[in-house]
């Protein structure tokens, strides 16, 4: 399912994410996720459900008088967009200015929530390894496609498929290189953590010839393929020249090192050094540093008036001031900003280039408050699970947390989590980071670092 939404344009089209929603709903009924096992996890679950309910409320038709009371500008914006007289009809209308777009956003959000609960249950019964291996394969194939496509055509997905969006700049399976970077900055730390978790706990002492022979035996092993996947994903990220993705990747490295500081055994440290050397070799050999330098210069250089992310953010703040309580409606930023747009004249702005500002503009306090509670409870739960986990899964959890932090950082400049593939991958990382450890009948934690691999 994750492969389906990832390889098919990141799941951006209805014919991709709707079957995925149906599939994950069936899995939810089949797996039968259990209730959260402690108060903090229950708080996170309740906050997630309340956030989804808030989006549903944006779709409920209300009398025009109520709309004027909670969001005085809603009818005016709707009239500007659809060329009707503001308040001319006494028929009930929803809070959202574009119900179809909000319904689509609700569907994507629902698929991510269901995927989270399903994957959490799968992880609790020992399926973490299978999930991570699948992500490594998807990342490897998708990154190879991105590298090949970049060298041939930058206008067609896979070099043959023209996106519906006229302004799209495809990179691999995604219609935008920054959306591809969002996927990679989540997947790389997770796969790397799983790779370290598979390192032998106590490698036997060998002489040089024995070590070389043992290394050669590893060439066809799962560890090497995991290492290759991490290297290829990193190379694709460098080739994409996504500035937000590179910043997020550096944050992921810092968080990974901090979380693993006290859990690194000698054999694990050797694998970290090996992977680090491989990444440096790949970057030096294949990365286009001229393109990266040009992108950095564009960031540091002065921008034209009314252009760039800062100008878009200012327009978004105007939306937030006019719709503080209930927002424009989930998924409606691209439609609503047209009334307020002063940035990027001559272009249509599809997103705020800041996920937090876009959430505030689309959801207001109605969606924003439960979303903030969800994030706080979720991060606190991640910290608790890391402290509780004394098994080999700790390194995998640490990788998942690093990927989550990385995408939260990238969201300051991008809105990649709007893509169904990225939303679902975040849900999977959340499940891996927060699932409860499997325990024996006597209450002791099971170390699944070998059995689930």
**What does the pLDDT look like over 205-254, one tens digit per residue?**
556 555 555 555 555 567 788 888 988 998 888 888 888 888 898 888 88
Q: How many CA atoms lie within 13 A of 76 on its CB side?
A: 10
Whether 423 maps to a domain, the answer reads yes
Whether 152 maps to a domain, the answer reads yes
Whether 30 maps to a domain, the answer reads yes
Rounded distance, CA 212 to CA 217, Å? Answer: 9
Ramachandran class of 75: left when φ > 0, alpha when ψ lies in -120 to 50, beta otherwise: alpha
- Contact (CB, 8 A) for 97 and 77: yes
- Contact (CB, 8 A) for 186 and 426: yes
Tally of domains within the chain: 1
Q: Look up residue 429 and give its two tokens.
A: 């990382």
Residue 26: domain span: 2-59+94-200+220-434
Whether 440 maps to a domain, the answer reads no
Whether 67 maps to a domain, the answer reads no
What's the Cα-to-Cα distance from 383 to each of 37, 41, 90, 346, 377, rounded to whole Å? 16, 12, 51, 46, 10
Whether 229 maps to a domain, the answer reads yes
Whether 76 maps to a domain, the answer reads no
Per-residue pLDDT of the chain (453 residues; tens, 9 = 90+): 889 999 988 888 888 889 999 999 999 998 877 777 788 889 999 999 999 999 999 999 988 888 888 887 777 787 777 655 555 556 788 889 889 999 999 999 999 999 999 999 999 888 999 999 999 999 999 999 888 887 776 677 777 777 777 667 788 888 888 999 999 999 999 998 898 887 665 555 556 555 555 555 555 567 788 888 988 998 888 888 888 888 898 888 888 888 876 655 555 555 566 556 666 665 555 555 565 555 555 554 455 556 678 889 999 999 999 899 999 999 999 888 888 888 877 777 888 999 999 999 999 999 999 999 999 999 999 999 988 887 778 889 999 999 999 999 999 999 999 999 999 999 999 999 999 875 443 334 433 433 344
Quickly count: other Cβ atoms within 10 Å of residue 311's Cβ. Answer: 20
Whether 444 maps to a domain, the answer reads no
Query: Which burial class, exposed, middle or buried, applies to 313 when counting CB atoms under 10 A from its CB (0-12, 13-18, 19+)?
Result: middle
DSSP code of residue 12: -
Q: Which residues contact 152 (CB under 8 A, 6 or more apart)?
A: 159
């Amino acid at each position: 399912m994750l492969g389906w939404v990832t390889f098919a344009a990141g799941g951006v089209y209805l014919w991709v994410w709707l079957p995925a929603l149906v599939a994950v709903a069936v899995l939810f009924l089949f797996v039968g996720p259990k209730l959260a096992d402690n108060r903090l996890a229950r708080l996170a679950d309740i906050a997630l459900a309340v956030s989804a309910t808030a989006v549903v409320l944006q779709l409920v038709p209300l009398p025009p008088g109520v709309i004027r009371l909670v969001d005085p500008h809603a009818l005016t914006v709707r009239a500007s967009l659809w060329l009707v007289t503001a308040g001319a009809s006494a028929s009930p209308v929803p809070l959202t200015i574009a119900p179809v777009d909000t319904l689509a956003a609700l569907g994507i959000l629902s698929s991510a929530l269901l995927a989270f609960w399903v994957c959490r249950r799968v992880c609790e019964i020992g399926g973490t390894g299978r999930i991570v291996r699948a992500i490594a394969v998807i990342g490897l194939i998708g990154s190879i496609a991105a590298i090949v496509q970049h060298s041939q055509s930058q206008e067609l997905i896979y070099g043959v498929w023209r996106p519906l969006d006229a302004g799209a700049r495809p990179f691999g399976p995604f219609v935008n290189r920054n959306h591809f970077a969002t996927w990679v900055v989540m997947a790389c730390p997770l796969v790397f953590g799983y790779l370290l978790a598979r390192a032998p706990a106590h490698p036997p002492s060998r002489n040089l010839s024995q070590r070389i022979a043992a290394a050669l035996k590893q060439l066809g092993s799962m560890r090497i393929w995991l290492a290759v996947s991490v290297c290829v994903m990193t190379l694709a990220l460098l080739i994409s020249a996504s500035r937000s993705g590179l910043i997020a990747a550096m944050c992921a490295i810092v968080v990974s090192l901090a979380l693993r500081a006290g859990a690194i055994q000698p054999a694990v440290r050797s694998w970290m050094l090996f992977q680090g050397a491989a990444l440096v070799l790949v970057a030096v050999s294949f990365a286009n540093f001229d393109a990266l330098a040009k992108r950095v210069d564009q960031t540091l250089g002065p921008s034209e008036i009314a252009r760039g992310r800062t100008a878009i953010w200012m327009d978004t703040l105007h939306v937030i001031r006019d719709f503080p309580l209930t927002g424009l409606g989930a998924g409606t930023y691209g439609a609503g900003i047209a009334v307020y747009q002063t940035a990027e004249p001559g272009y249509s702005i599809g997103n705020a280039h800041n996920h937090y500002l876009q959430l505030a503009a689309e959801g207001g306090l109605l969606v924003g408050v439960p979303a903030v509670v969800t994030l706080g409870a979720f991060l606190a739960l991640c910290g608790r699970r890391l402290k509780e986990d004394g098994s080999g899964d700790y390194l995998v959890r640490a990788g998942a947390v690093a990927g989550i932090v990385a995408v939260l950082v990238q969201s300051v400049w991008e809105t990649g989590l709007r893509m169904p593939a990225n939303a679902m991958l975040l849900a999977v990382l959340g499940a891996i980071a927060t699932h409860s450890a499997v325990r024996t009948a006597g209450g002791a934690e099971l170390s699944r670092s070998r059995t689930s691999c």
